[in-house]
Amino acid sequence: MHDVYFGTDQTKVTDADRMNPKDVLISQGQNATRYDLGRLEFGQTYYWRIDEVNAPPDSSIFKGSIWSFTVEPLAYPINPNNITATASSSNTPAEGPEKTVNGSGLDANDLHSTANTDMWLSSLTGPQPTWIQYEFDKAQKLHQLGYGTTIRPSRRNWFRIKEATIEYSADGINWTTLGTAHEFGQAPGWPVMHIILALILVVWPQRMSGSQPTATGEES
């Protein structure tokens, strides 16, 4: 027979026993060679231990080793080298759409700088409506699309994408609109850019058209 310990806390799985199961003794005296754990959490690390239990009257318990595994994440980041970003316009060559996918300006906490050259800024005199398009090396099923926005008190007027139409295509020729207009949240006015996440489950390439010129922040 075997006692099976399983959980997300390595210390509990290590220290638990029959007298103090610590909520991780999931099967005691099991004879079967399998145990159904049910649905596990994406990205979660689990620890497990199996003790060998002698048959009565001895019933000695031999503590097993601690093992672990991590469930695959819900989604994987796409290599930015496999994404081509194009846009309706750029304010300057140093403020191009590629800045939205190459990690420019991001720190370890996913906060973004407010430097113009770390972001994409469209031209106020560029073609309208303003749009940005991402093309992948192959069709992808997306989980999240990140959009950043910031406010700069030093500038009198700044614009952001407030509402956007999102379209997707498998061949870059035939496009389908995803739902209706999508509204992006307003920046909080902090001196860093916070990434706003919108849940998207579509096949790429995708393009996004804004309802007003794209820059950073809100008109003031």
Looking at the chain, the domain(s) classified CATH 2.60.120.260 span: 80-210
Say which residue, 10 or 219, is predicted with more confidence.
10
Quote the pLDDT of residue 16: 96
Question: Do residues 55 and 62 touch, judged by C-beta distance below 8 A?
Answer: no
Token reading at 98: 């590629």
To the question of pTM greater than 0.75 for the whole model, the response is: no
What is the C-alpha radius of gyration for the chain, rounded to an integer number of angstroms? 26
| pLDDT tens track for 140-173 | 888 877 666 554 444 444 556 677 888 888 888 8
Question: Do residues 163 and 184 touch, judged by C-beta distance below 8 A?
Answer: yes
Provide the CB-side half-sphere exposure for 43 (13 A, CA): 4
CA distance 157 to 116: 15
- Of 213, 209, 147, 149, the closest CA to residue 178 belongs to 209
CATH superfamily of 80-210: Galactose-binding domain-like (2.60.120.260)
pLDDT above 90: percentage of residues in the chain = 34
| pLDDT tens track for 99-145 | 888 888 888 877 777 788 888 888 888 888 888 888 888 888 888 77
Q: Is the pLDDT of residue 211 over 60?
A: no
Q: Is the pLDDT of residue 73 over 50?
A: yes
Residue 132 Cα to chain centre, angstroms: 20
Mean pLDDT, the chain, whole residue set: 79
Q: Which stretches of 94-161 are DSSP H helices? A: none
Question: Do residues 197 and 144 touch, judged by C-beta distance below 8 A?
Answer: yes
Q: Is the pLDDT of residue 194 over 70?
A: no
